[in-house]
Amino acid sequence: MNPTHRFEVDAPARLDILVARALDISRTRAATLIATGRVEVDGRPERASFVAPAGAHVAADVPAPESREVIPEDIPVSVVYEDDDLLVVDKAAGMVVHPAPGNWTGTLVNALRGRGQSLAPGGGEERAGLVHRLDKETSGLMIVAKTERAHRILSTAIAGRRVARRYAVLCWGHLDGDLVTVDRPIARDPRDRRRMAATPAGRPARTDFHRLARFASTDLLRAHLHTGRTHQIRVHLASIGHPVAGDDAYGGGGARRLVGLPPRRHFLHAAWLRFRHPVTNVEMDIRSPLPRDLRTSLEAASEMADLIAHPDPLEYLGFYRVDG
């Protein structure tokens, strides 16, 4: 059975625009759903150009995407924890998480399949085992479920904000204070579907930013996700005028040379995970030091000999303090 998405119209707008926003899909796909009779407004099919009034109830019957066989590949992947129920990988920058148009091979899921890995069915063959995701150029820790039970419990824990995910991020410029919370909804950017944007029409999104160090032109931050929207940290920092260093998509690319980042790399690393094991209920605390390219960048940005000499600069700066 195909999932049916229902929502109420807040303000009058074209039906294709409303459906695209509500389902976080392209306007073209929304128009296709409407044209094939999969969308109704107050129980009646309408055209894509129909302007739905405020208070109208929209129901969209969305067919599940066709699954495609995932080819196992012999690709190195760093596994930092593993048992019968789950594993935690330390994803390298440049690796796409799951197969999709334009990236059917070379992904983390292909690599896990190449290990002969048992993975929870999850969201289909292409997303098997995935509990959450990281952007291609973001490095760091990801939880992968091996069993359906583990996947269900971990997904519920993330939705209930019981999985603590902390990111190390270098932003351009200086925040207004040592603790800044950005609470702005996020949706697909209507001008560029490859980007996201902070907009009142989006889904709720909240990120806490703790400043760990202030350098000449940048701040090193610890980011705490309360929600898990696509590009959330990058969009939220860009929305307050302090994009992630090296982030070409959201305005931080000009800082790359200044802080010694390699091409296409942005300074964002999923460095710390804390969660309860889905079966044993044991408290898990898993950490990932900055990879070599980000340590080199931190050295260029900070010019602090004591910081760079420490085995783990994040620990030196108090990144792992348990304070929320």
Number of alpha carbons in the 13 Å side-chain half-sphere of residue 189: 15
* Cα-Cα-Cα-Cα dihedral sign, residues 236, 241, 242, 246: positive
Identified catalytic residue from 135, 208, 219, 247: 135
d(CA 207, CA 232): 8
For residues 277 and 284, the answer to whether their CB atoms sit within 8 Å is: yes
Could you give the dihedral angle defined by the CA atoms of residues 244, 245, 251 and 257, in that order, rounded to the nearest 10 degrees? -170
Place of tokens 């997904």: 155
From 183, 86, 185, 202, select the one nearest 143 (Cα to Cα): 86
For residues 99 and 119, the answer to whether their CB atoms sit within 8 Å is: no
| 135 catalytic per annotation | yes
Count other C-beta atoms under 10 Å from residue 258's C-beta. 16
- List the end-to-end C-alpha distance of the chain, in Å, as a whole number: 41
From 47, 49, 52, 27, select the one nearest 36 (Cα to Cα): 47
- Measure the CA angle with vertex 285, ends 289 and 141; round to 5°: 50
Catalytic (active-site) positions: 135
